[in-house]
Amino acid sequence: KMAEKQEEPSNTQNGEPDNAEEGEEKKKKLKREDLPPFEIVTGERLPAIFFKFQFRNVEYSSGRNKTFLCYVVETQGKESVTSRGYLEDEHAAAHAEMAFFNTILPKCDSSLRYNITWYVSSSPCVTCADRITETLKKNKNLRLTIMVGRLFMWEEPEMQAALKKMKSAGCKLRIMKPQDFEYVWQNFVEQEEGEEAKAFVPWEDIQENFQYYEEKLAEIL
């Protein structure tokens, strides 16, 4: 419980060294306050250091109190259009999951079919899970698959109930396998300019953690 409601994470947790110059810090702060309440970053890639920290499928996720959501939206009409991007909820009034529905897909055209895949650092909170359930019930032309790195507060009965409701509304919830992390690395993470794309390096316990969460999820659903 403690780790959930942390204050502003320090820079080290966000993967930036803590000894950044004072001036730089001030500039960054200013820049951050100028941003709209939600910055939508579409088509851009997230810094590798964020990916390595936030997406890591550890059991105790201290300091990981942001949600990173990478999305692929396939819209099928006369022609199929695919768009992708990522959202993070650092300076957010809403969580990334809510922001997706508020900004990326504020309305569903009933004459189109949407196949949406999210790759998210951790599974949604109860409020977001309920919003996902409502959205899927309302829009039968929407298919949503959520690939998550970790399960969030999965021991809580109300969280388990919310995940079950999502499933019954047609949401596919999956735990990210090592191959899924690699997919995100290749498609959503910044690669150094001018260098060969770096290969994804799985962390030590990636497979065991995947199996651990997959068993938990199977028990819940």
Q: Left (φ > 0), alpha (ψ -120 to 50) or beta: where does 43 sit? A: left
Q: How far apart, in whole angstroms, are the C-alpha atoms of residue 210 and residue 72?
A: 22
Closest CA to 117 of 54, 74, 181: 74
Cβ atoms within 10 A of the Cβ of 91, count? 12
Among candidate residues 97, 195, 204, 208, the one labeled active-site is 97
Q: Which residue's entry shows tokens 């309302």?
A: 138
How far is the CA of 17 from the CAs of 6, 126, 162, in angstroms?
A: 19, 33, 37
- Residue 74's SS3 state is strand
Alpha helix ranges (H) inside the chain: 22-34, 48-54, 96-99, 126-138, 157-168, 178-188, 206-220
Residue 174's Cβ-count burial label (10 Å; 0-12, 13-18, 19+) is middle
97 is catalytic: yes
Active site positions, annotated: 97
